[in-house]
Amino acid sequence: MSSLMDTSTSSSTLVLCPAMELKDGKETLLFDPSLLQKQPNLPKEFIWPSKDLVHAQDELKEPLIDLSGFLKGNEEATSQAAELIRTACTNHGFFQVINHGVDPGLIRAAYDEIDAIFGLPMSKKLGMKRRTGGVCGYSGAHADRYSSKLPWKETFSFGFHKNESSDIVVVDYFKSVLGNDFEHTGWVYQKYCEAMKKLALVIMELLAISLGIERMHYRDFFEDGSSIMRCNLYPPCMNPGLAMGTGPHSDPTSLTILHQDQVGGLQVFVSNKWQAVTPRQDAFVVNIGDTFMALTNGRYKSCLHRALVNRESERRSLVFFVCPREDRTVRPPSDLLWTGMEVPRKYPDFTWSDLLEFTQNHHRADVATLQSFIHWLRSLQS
Ligand SMILES: C=C1C[C@]23C[C@H]1CC[C@H]2[C@]1(C)CCC[C@@](C)(C(=O)O)[C@H]1[C@@H]3C(=O)O
Ligand SMILES: O=C(O)CCC(=O)C(=O)O
Ligand SMILES: [Fe+2]
């Protein structure tokens, strides 16, 4: 299976870049913000094509969905929320929710722990690095995965799922990877992920209602899912106009529940232009991912978005990626495949496990991941 990974190397980096590390005998760039920020110029690996750097023209504040009525079982509020969701997801796959029921103190604690993680010495962070082919662990600009268009960010990701042996998998992960000193951090993210999963299942009900299908359909599909939690830290950048915190993409996952701090930088592609998402500390950003788009047979759109960096401030975001159990077949409900006559399938059956493996080993998730994945699947079958 040919690798589609970006393998271009740039020897000039050896001169420019203050820090390299040897990986499998190959010199790769080491994303150490404390060193890189002192550099006068942005290393070439972080420079993005001009087509990706087009400025945002407007701010996108709507649709903002108040969940309080739905959570109380108010039918009028439920149908209003469903209508807003239907319009937003049919067009661009982005909305925000307020009065979601998540404790603001838990959100604050999750941000505090971001600093505990990324404030560790580089040697410690490299010791908890994401393994090739996996999602979990630390990553510095994904410099060990790609050689160009590197994102100006550090990430730390881990799984959240129920399993027979433990119902505190996040606590276990933090203790095993970061040590017993991080048990408290593990509990903060255990509670945070539990709150995200609870909110995700509420939103799944609303999504089903908005599509006019059986209310529990998606809730049941995701109940036993294996989700991914990611902490993002975007350091200040000496040349933010040429860099990207996270490049243009749609999430290959199903549903993303994101909280951004007050710095700002998230943008979504709506009405054929990039629009800034103004931070609201009381809101969660929700976007439809590729897998959920397939679960609606393309009725709901996977949201195209990106994150910019700035010269002055660090930016942080907490991102919860809702995923189904890895072996579940991704197939739209039959109610979406019949409107008095048969509706053609837009995507073949697949599993999240296969799409995840594709993004981790064969294709850098971008603005066309699902199409590339379908082509790749078909190439395997031919
Ligand atoms: C399954 C995943 C792959 C990524 C993390 C989750 C969902 C979002 C994906 C990602 C953020 C999309 C942009 C590119 C990417 C490489 C990144 O910038 O981190 C993607 C993640 C990844 O492959 O690690
Ligand atoms: O940090 C952000 O605002 C966006 C991050 C993102 O899109 C992602 O991690 O998938
Ligand atoms: Fe994303």
- Say what the pLDDT of residue 2 is: 34
Q: Which two tokens stand for residue 248?
A: 């243009």
Q: Tell me if residue 315 is catalytic.
A: yes
ipTM: 0.99
Q: Which residues line ligand 2 (CB under 6 A)?
A: 230, 232, 246, 251, 258, 260, 266, 305, 307, 317, 319
Q: Which residue in 284, 278, 290, 283 sits closest to 355, CA to CA?
A: 290
Residue 24 has what pLDDT? 67
Half-sphere exposure of 353 (CA within 13 A, CB side): 5
Ligand 1 atom nearest 155 alpha carbon: 19
B/e letters for 17-35, b = 16+ CB within 10 Å, e = fewer, are beeebeeeeeebbbbbbee
CA atoms within 13 A on the CB side of 119: 8
Of 251, 268, 318, best ligand 1 pocket probe by most atoms within 8 Å of the beta carbon: 251
321 lines ligand 1 (CB under 6 A): yes
Domain 49-381 has CATH 2.60.120.330: yes
Which ligand gives the minimal distance to the CA of 232? Answer: 2
Q: How do the pLDDT tens digits run along the chain, 382 residues long?
A: 333 333 333 333 333 345 677 666 777 789 998 888 788 999 999 999 999 999 998 999 889 999 999 999 999 999 999 999 999 999 999 999 999 999 999 999 999 999 999 999 999 999 999 999 999 999 999 999 999 999 999 999 999 998 888 899 999 999 999 999 999 999 999 999 999 999 999 999 999 999 999 999 999 999 999 999 999 999 999 999 999 999 999 999 999 999 999 999 999 999 999 999 999 999 999 999 999 999 999 999 999 999 999 999 999 999 999 999 999 999 999 999 998 999 999 999 999 999 999 999 999 999 999 999 999 999 988 8
Specify the pLDDT at position 28: 77
- Active site residue: 219, 230, 306, 315, which one? 315
Ligand 1: centre distance to CA 292 (Å): 16
Residue 122 and residue 204: Cα distance in Å, rounded? 39
The Cα–Cα gap between 250 and 305 comes to 6
Q: CB under 8 Å to 188, separation ≥6 — which residues?
A: 106, 109, 110, 112, 113
Domains of the chain, by residue range, sit at 49-381
Which ligand 1 atom is at minimum distance from the Cα of 153? 18
The CA–CA distances, whole Å, from 329 to 43, 227, 291, 294, 347 equal 42, 16, 11, 11, 12
Pocket test for ligand 2, best of 319, 364, 366 (most atoms within 8 A of CB): 319
- Looking at this protein, which amino acid is placed at residue 356? L
Cα-to-centroid distance, 365 and ligand 3 (Å): 9
Q: How far apart are CA 90 and CA 301, in angstroms?
A: 6
Whether the Cβ atoms of residue 242 and residue 150 lie closer than 8 Å to each other? no
